[in-house]
Structure 1
Amino acid sequence: MAAHKVPLKLDQGATYDNFWIWKTGPKGAEVPVDLTGAKAIAEFRPELESEVILLTLSTENGRIFLNEEPGKIRFRITDEDTAALTFDGCVYDLFIEFADGSRTRRMAGSASLTKRVTRGV
């Protein structure tokens, strides 16, 4: 299955906290995917072929949370982290590694950053 295309919009200096529920099955009978014991990583790069990593989200660094409820994938980037970002746009993808070692590329797309005006907070 190809990764779902999900554009992300970040605001510089603001907390980004968003989630998606991953479901599978026939239309009308979907069930949440069991993410128990899974790990996740997402890398943000200036462009697809770039070696430069602008930002990494993972279950290991506390920026991705899995299975807070069945099938839930949550990205959380602190206001301090978004304040340090300077790109206008970039690309990312999200890999999920299940407890059995199998991996899937779940999401991918572009991310845009709206620069802040207020700097005193």
Structure 2
Amino acid sequence: MQPACVPLRLFQGATFRDVLRLSQPTRVYRDIQSIQAVAPVRLVVPDHGVPSEWPVWVVGVQQWPEINRQPVTGRPWQALRVDENTLEINTLSAVGQRPAGGQLIYLAPVDLISCTARMQIRDRPGGQLLLELGSGPGQGLVIEQAGTIRREISAVQTGALPAAAAVYDLEVTFADGSVLRWVEGPVTVSPQVTL
């Protein structure tokens, strides 16, 4: 597997937080039973299987083309899981619309049960270790639900990094012992500005 190249921008002395979504290449297709004409819009999709805050695409909806986005070419919507049959897209209002039909498409999340993760920042590939995060309590990486890893680098940690270019990688160790480098990329550390 080729790791995703995701640049990382840090500011010295500022806390960094983000969320990584790890998905499989397998697409999941679910028919939309109904779209509620409310704000934010709610989609009724029986047994959708979507984790909370997961990227999804919607295709084939009639009488409301603005909601349709094609996988790969269209940016996904961020779906909030309301329950096992309902999703909400907070950035859309369906008030006054009469949408019908359609299909929900998403990439299946990676099963992270019993996994651990490690992220390292180095001054260059294979070079000096500048910072390491782990998935243990208080170590900066939190494995939450299917396919979700939250990253946090404290203000103290970013403050200790040199204001220079660096590189990082994030590896996931699975229950069977296999280790996959999931994400890597360049790191830009901007200097702390004092007023």
Counterpart position of 1:38: 115
Q: CA deviation at 1:14?
A: 0.6
Q: CA deviation at 1:34?
A: 1.0
Measure, in 2, the Cα distance between the counterparts of 1:47 and 1:85.
Answer: 13
Identity among equivalent positions (%) equals 33
Letter in 2 for 1:36: I
**Deviation by residue 1:24-75 (Cα, 9 ceiling, x = unmatched):** 113634111111110111111111132x100101113621111x23210111
Letter in 2 for 1:63: G
**Greater displacement, 27-36 / 89-98:** 27-36
Query: Aligned to 2:129, what secondary structure does the other structure show?
Result: coil
Query: Aligned to 2:183, what secondary structure does the other structure show?
Result: strand
Measure, in 2, the Cα distance between the counterparts of 1:29 and 1:117.
Answer: 41
Instruction: Summarize the alignment of residues 77-92 of structure 1 with structure 2, pairs less than 5 Å apart.
Output: 77-92=153-168
Instruction: Summarize the alignment of residues 1-121 of structure 1 with structure 2, pairs less than 5 Å apart.
Output: 1-24=1-24, 25-26=26-27, 28-50=105-127, 52-60=128-136, 62-66=139-143, 68-118=144-194
Q: CA deviation at 1:9?
A: 0.3
TM-score norm. by structure 1 comes to: 0.88
Alignment: residue pair count: 117
Unaligned regions of 5+ residues in structure 1, if any?
none
Measure, in 2, the Cα distance between the counterparts of 1:94 and 1:45.
Answer: 12
Letter in 2 for 1:117: V
Measure, in 2, the Cα distance between the counterparts of 1:77 and 1:110.
Answer: 16
Measure, in 2, the Cα distance between the counterparts of 1:49 and 1:106.
Answer: 17
Contact 2:163/2:190, CA 8 A, preserved across alignment: no
Distance of aligned partners of 1:31 and 1:63 in 2 relative to their CA distance in 1, 3 Å threshold: same
Query: Aligned to 1:47, what secondary structure does the other structure show?
Result: coil
Query: Aligned to 2:14, what secondary structure does the other structure show?
Result: coil
Which one has the largest radius of gyration?
2
TM-score norm. by structure 2 comes to: 0.56
Letter in 1 for 2:142: F
Letter in 2 for 1:44: I
